[in-house]
Amino acid sequence: MRADARDNRERILTAAEQVFGRSTAASTDDVAKLAGVGIATVFRHFPTKVELLEAVLTLRLQRLRDTARELAGAGDPGTAFYEFFSQVVAEAGSKLAIAEALGAAGSAPGEHARQAGLEMRQAFGELLARAQRSGAVRADAQFAEVYALLVGASRGATATGLDLEVRDRMLAVLYDGLRPRR
């Protein structure tokens, strides 16, 4: 891919993430305007809105995966785990909006997004395991339960439109439940 085409693609993805992260009713025209390209350029890279949404969702999940992997190498496993958990909840609104826009377009996440989601869950599982080994998260908390808490907190914070202070208090209560019993 030529450098200018690669740059256009990156601008389109960045714009699409912002546009679709705000509203499920957003259009590819909105994306083109924000990216500073013509609509034909958007469709040259992504022939359908579904393909664009799929690419944005995949990119978002890959970034979360990469963040989790990076944090897994951090010095304090407990801080890394809780930092990642907080980041996922904080960014959930736009990620969920993108997934809902994909659903509204009549499609489910495709293979690339599913693979990126699986890799993100695996990286989260490693963060959890490291935090448990360090004593920062209770040992009897299984991955399925903790992941359900992550999803539930993310959806709950988004659906109820929690302000930052309330969201932080909610997470503090949740984290108290995840810490080992004294």
Encode pLDDT of 104-143 as tens digits.
Answer: 877 878 889 899 999 999 999 999 999 999 999 999 999 9
In this prediction, residue 160 has a pLDDT band, given cuts at 50, 70 and 90, of confident
Confidence at residue 26, expressed as pLDDT on a 0 to 100 scale: 83
Q: What is the pLDDT of residue 1?
A: 62
pLDDT above 70 as % of the chain: 99
Give pTM, 2 decimals.
0.87
- Considering the domain architecture, whether residues 89 and 56 belong to the same structural domain is answered as yes
What pLDDT was estimated at residue 10? Answer: 94
Q: Is the dihedral of CA 80, 85, 90, 95 positive or negative?
A: positive
Name the least confident of 16-20, 36-40, 77-81, 105-109.
105-109
Domain count, the chain: 2
Are residues 85 and 10 part of one domain? no
Tokens of 174: 């949740």
pLDDT band per the 50, 70, 90 thresholds, residue 161: confident
CATH number at residue 42: 1.10.10
CATH number at residue 54: 1.10.357.10
The reply to whether 36 and 61 lie within a common domain is no
Is pLDDT of 182 > 80? no
Q: Check residue 116 and give its pLDDT.
A: 94
Same domain, 39 and 53: no
Least Cα distance to 14 among 1, 37, 25, 128 occurs for 37
Q: Give the range of the structural domain holding residue 15, as residue numbers without chain letter.
A: 1-47
The larger pLDDT score, comparing residue 119 to residue 92, is at: 119
pLDDT, residue 100, reads: 83
Task: Tell me, yes or no, whether 12 and 41 share the same domain.
Answer: yes
Name the residue among 35, 65, 44, 48 with its Cα closest to residue 110: 48
Q: Is 100 found in the same domain as 77?
A: yes
Q: Are residues 58 and 14 in the same domain?
A: no
Q: Is the pLDDT of residue 67 over 90?
A: yes
